[in-house]
Structure 1
């Protein structure tokens, strides 16, 4: 599976349930999800630390902070 960010708990569970072998993450500075759990279940986790992905997330958070903080379950 390829993802811009580290996968959330639901996506992490889906990767385990559907026996995904590798998760490639664009960047994990903005959000760290279930990476350790994936590794503990034998799933390969590759973090690219991609600047373009980080820039996309910074722009999204700047433009739509209410959506971002609601999605990750945190207050601004």
Structure 2
């Protein structure tokens, strides 16, 4: 699974339920989700630390705090 942010609790649960073997995360500076939980259950977690993703999500959070 590829995702811009660290997966939320629901997405983390879906990864476990559907036996996703690897989760590739664009960035986890703006939000840290269930990465530890995934790793504990044998899921490979790769964090790209993409500056583009950090900036994109940071801007979204600043501009739309009510949605975030």
TM-score scaled to structure 2, two decimals? 0.98
Root mean square deviation, CA, Å: 0.5
In the TM superposition, structure 1's runs of 4+ consecutive aligned residues that sit over 2 Å from their partners are: none
Number of positions where the alignment pairs a residue of Structure 1 with one of Structure 2: 68
Higher CA-based Rg:
1
- CA deviation vs aligned residue, 1:20-66 (integer Å, no higher than 9, x gap): 00000000010000000000000000000000000110110111011
In the alignment, what sits opposite 1:5?
5
Unaligned residue ranges in structure 2 (runs of 5+): none
Higher relative contact order (CA 8 A, sep 6+): 2
Partner Cα separation in structure 1 for residue 52 and residue 29 of structure 2: 12
More helix by share: 1
Question: What are structure 1's unaligned runs of at least 5 residues?
Answer: 69-76
